[in-house]
């Protein structure tokens, strides 16, 4: 990597932040994707009166969105 006026330790720290951000983004999008697939199966349960799938789908969706937000923040933190 070309020298941009920062020490090697700082450069490695930035690379670790980008790597961690990418990992969190990937995990977040995977959670959102799996949750989207599970939503197709939730409707029958909801019609039968079960709130379990509704609550668990909401929790997984919120966790996925949180991972995406944190990952985006970490990747842009330079």
54-71: pLDDT as tens digits: 888 899 999 999 999 999
Tokens of 71: 């990952």
**Residue 51 clears pLDDT 70, i.e. is over it:** yes
42: phi then psi, degrees, rounded to nearest 5:
-75, -30
Percent of the chain with pLDDT over 70: 94
- pTM as predicted: 0.78
More confident residue, 3 or 32: 32
- Mean of per-residue pLDDT scores for the chain: 87
Per-residue pLDDT at 13: 82
């Amino acid at each position: 990597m070309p020298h941009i006026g920062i020490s090697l330790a700082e450069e490695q720290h930035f690379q670790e932040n980008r790597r961690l951000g990418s990992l969190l983004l990937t995990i977040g999008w995977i959670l959102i994707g799996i949750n989207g697939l599970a939503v197709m199966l939730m409707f029958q349960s909801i019609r039968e009166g079960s709130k379990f799938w509704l609550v668990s789908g909401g929790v997984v969706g919120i966790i996925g969105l949180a991972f995406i937000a944190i990952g985006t923040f970490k990747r842009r933190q330079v």
